[in-house]
Structure 1
Amino acid sequence: MSRNETALKKAPVEEQIKLPMPVRNPIVISVFAALLVAMAIGAKGNSIFSFEGATSWFSIPNVSLPASITLWVLTVLTIALAVWAWIQANARKTPPAWMLGVSGFAFVFGFLVWTVADKPSSVMPTVSLLIGGLTLAVPLIFGALSGVVCERSGVINIAIEGQLLFGAFMGAVVASATSSPYVGLIGSLVGGALVGVLLALFTVHFRADHIVVGVVLNMLVLGLTSFLYSTVLTHSAEYNRAVPLKPIGIPILKDIPIIGPIMFNQSILVYLVYVAVIGLQFALFRTRWGLRTRACGEHPKAADTVGVKVNRLRWINVIAASALAGLGGAFFTLGQNLAFSKEMTAGNGFIALAAMIIGRWNPKGALAAALLFGFATNLASVMQSVGSPLPAEYMLMLPYVVTILAVAGFVGSVRAPAAEGKPYPA
């Protein structure tokens, strides 16, 4: 054996095998740093943040920040994080997730500072910005949770858009007919479940291609709701009225400064989001049902061996998850105090699908991604009202751009359930 071979044999495994550099997080943090530098260079004046409506206990005055100093502080912090991330990556270590979170927060805060910098008449409405972000994330959260349950069971759910749309339709019609938004919520559940029955029928029973079935169901629901809207609802306005879900304030909690009005003075849909995320996170990873569901999505043959009725569980989960997405569709009508209109979900089902992927098929991950999308969407409308130098259309593009990046795999090495999209028995 040669001297080089002997040295290689004695070297640590890390030196023998050259691991690839984990560059995704360092690149993202570096981009944040570069954008902050660009904003800091031209920043001047002060940025005013309003906390109106933060609490009814006392008044919180506006906060004025020197734009240039604030942006440069955030820039230096982000550059330091970028350097640290590159050092970690060069050592073949994955940078901690909190570094990406801190740099992302610094970029978002810096962007808000830059948006209203040197504009005495423009004030950033902090509380309403956060309330709107949470509210707009509601259908995305329900849709993403629907995708999590279906795909953990082994069924690819591309039909989230159709489930949201039919849930919005049924919610509006039932609420208008009964003059009760809460009965309308039941209608939304039924609407989503009906789409789920078709999804389970063709994917589980007839063993058709899941993606094709999902696309066809989206087109079916779009065509059906458009037809019924044009032929029935436009001529019978009593079946398509705005029946709003009113906010329900939780005493004491709703007056906690900033957090209270955002989280505890919302409609019942938002409270159902809390229950759905917490309940599903627990059920999926801490209960027998969750274990069986994950087994059906990962190794259905092993699940069948221990007595799990794989296809029956897939049927149940797909219908229940679709009902959950239908409940999210109620946001577009009952939640926003609007009558039903054609194509009113506007692609939110596909954004929910991206939130599920970014969240790595995990309820709490899907929640975080959906909140990001909701915040970006609401920020676009706020930018118009405060006279941002950046066209709001760019912010409106953000959810769809992130959707493309997620589908393209930029979110990193995520692994879908192994048996997703595969019929059983094979």
Structure 2
Amino acid sequence: MAWVMRNRVTVGLLAVVVVAAYVFYWAANDIAPSMYVSAWGYAIPLVLAALVGVIGERSGVVNIGIEGQMLIAAFAGFFTAAATGSILVGVLVGVGSGLVAGAFLAWTTVRWRMDQIIAGVVLNIVATGITSFYYTPGKILPGVIPNLDIPVLQDIPLVGEVFFSGRSWIATVAILAAIGIHLLLFHTRWGLRTRAVGEYPSAADTAGINVERLRLVNVTIAGSLAGLAGVYLSMDASSSFERGMTAGRGFLALAIMIMGAWRPLRAFAMALFFGFVNAVASQLQQSGLGVDGEPSGFLEWLLAAVTSPQILATLPYVAVLVVLGLAAGRVRAPGAVGQPYVKGDQ
């Protein structure tokens, strides 16, 4: 009860959103279920990628290279599975490549103290170059990532249908990762130490915490989540690999992380919001809104312009910019984020 009172605004807002979601689900049962399913499908890699950013920045390291980590993992996982005929091997290689990319970013930014933004940009450029140069068309997967239906939970109206039925196990991992990382960050010794090195590393060092080692480990391990997001994109969501298929999702994940105030569960909620806006945009494109034939006046021309597929496709990104604008000044990044730490500095 005390927790509810301290977070009454968040709880109240969550209650309103849940009620509205169920009302829309029952009132528009012909389109709402597919929209919700589409929204969660789009949000899954964003959740995983946003958690990568949360872990990194809570540790004091900016990870601009999430996009590159995801792209490398998508490439490695897909082509390994196609070459070996094993989905499991492909998933393991994809996650492993995410770890390697995370280790590269960690080593260059923490041990070599390279500018964190530049290191992330380098990772993105290298990932784009490698995956484009070695891309081979015509490869197919030997199967699909198995679905995981959760007993009891899958029978809950709306929630079960969207989250716990007919989804690959990666979707379940994304949910568990968001909950688990929240608990670890705010209710364990590791979480306390991670937040300490992200806020005031010199004080953490004085308390006996090895700042450099913790940052190295956290950023490296977080790369496995980016790897899993990339594997999902190429081996589940599309079952194919295309050049640049991450399509800016790594950068969107960073925006989601900021909108979520560097908190895992809030980032999860913002990823769902973005996924839903994307589903709404897709639904509007399919509904055939617009003007038939050539516009005959200014109002018809304006309607045709606003409802064009190109404009509707930008709706999710416009929504992100609006929410980021509203969040500006209301959320605060970890105090030492982006700052390399040298033992003895104050």
TM range (shorter): 0.7 to 0.9
Q: 1:379 to 1:405 in 2, by over 3 A?
A: closer
Check whether the contact 2:87–2:141 (CA below 8 A) recurs between aligned residues.
no
How many Å apart are 1:108 and its aligned residue? Answer: 8.7
How many Å apart are 1:333 and its aligned residue? Answer: 1.0
Alignment equivalent of 1:249, drawn from 136, 140, 149: 149
The equivalent of 1:327 in structure 2 is 228
The equivalent of 2:161 in structure 1 is 261
Q: Indicate yes or no: 2:245 matched with 1:347.
A: no
The equivalent of 1:377 in structure 2 is 278
1:198-234 superposed Cα distances (whole Å, 9 cap, x missing partner) = 21121111111111211221111111111111xxx23
The equivalent of 1:397 in structure 2 is 314
C-alpha distance in 1 between matches for 2:116 and 2:325: 19
The equivalent of 2:130 in structure 1 is 224
1:101-153 superposed Cα distances (whole Å, 9 cap, x missing partner) = 68878999999999x9xxxxxx8421111111111101100000000000000
C-alpha distance in 1 between matches for 2:25 and 2:156: 24
C-alpha distance in 2 between matches for 1:283 and 1:96: 24
Q: 1:171 to 1:422 in 2, by over 3 A?
A: same
1:270-292 superposed Cα distances (whole Å, 9 cap, x missing partner) = 11012101110110111111111
Q: TM-score by structure 1 length?
A: 0.68
Q: 1:155 to 1:372 in 2, by over 3 A?
A: same
1:42-69 superposed Cα distances (whole Å, 9 cap, x missing partner) = xxxxxxxxxxxxxxxxxxxxxxxxxxxx
Give the partner amino acid of 1:399.
P
How many Å apart are 1:359 and its aligned residue? Answer: 0.3
Give the partner amino acid of 1:278.
I
Q: 1:290 to 1:97 in 2, by over 3 A?
A: closer
Check whether the contact 1:360–1:414 (CA below 8 A) recurs between aligned residues.
yes
Check whether the contact 1:176–1:243 (CA below 8 A) recurs between aligned residues.
no
The equivalent of 1:314 in structure 2 is 215
The equivalent of 2:105 in structure 1 is 199
The equivalent of 2:194 in structure 1 is 293
Check whether the contact 1:244–1:336 (CA below 8 A) recurs between aligned residues.
no
CA RMSD in angstroms comes to 2.8
**Larger Rg: 1 or 2?**
1
Q: TM-score by structure 2 length?
A: 0.83
The percentage of aligned residue pairs carrying the same residue is 41
Give the partner amino acid of 2:193.
R
The equivalent of 2:4 in structure 1 is none
Give the partner amino acid of 1:260.
G
Check whether the contact 1:354–1:406 (CA below 8 A) recurs between aligned residues.
no
Q: Indicate yes or no: 2:76 matched with 1:159.
A: no
The equivalent of 1:177 in structure 2 is 83
The equivalent of 1:66 in structure 2 is none
Give the partner amino acid of 2:158.
I
Give the partner amino acid of 1:131.
V
The equivalent of 2:296 in structure 1 is none
Q: Greater RCO between the two (CA within 8 Å, min separation 6)?
A: 2
Check whether the contact 2:110–2:216 (CA below 8 A) recurs between aligned residues.
yes
Gap runs ≥5 in structure 2: 1-7, 291-306
Alignment of 1:229-244 (within 5 A): 229=135, 233-234=136-137, 237-238=138-139, 241=141, 243-244=143-144
> What secondary structure does 1:249 align onto?
coil
Check whether the contact 2:22–2:158 (CA below 8 A) recurs between aligned residues.
no
> What secondary structure does 1:248 align onto?
coil
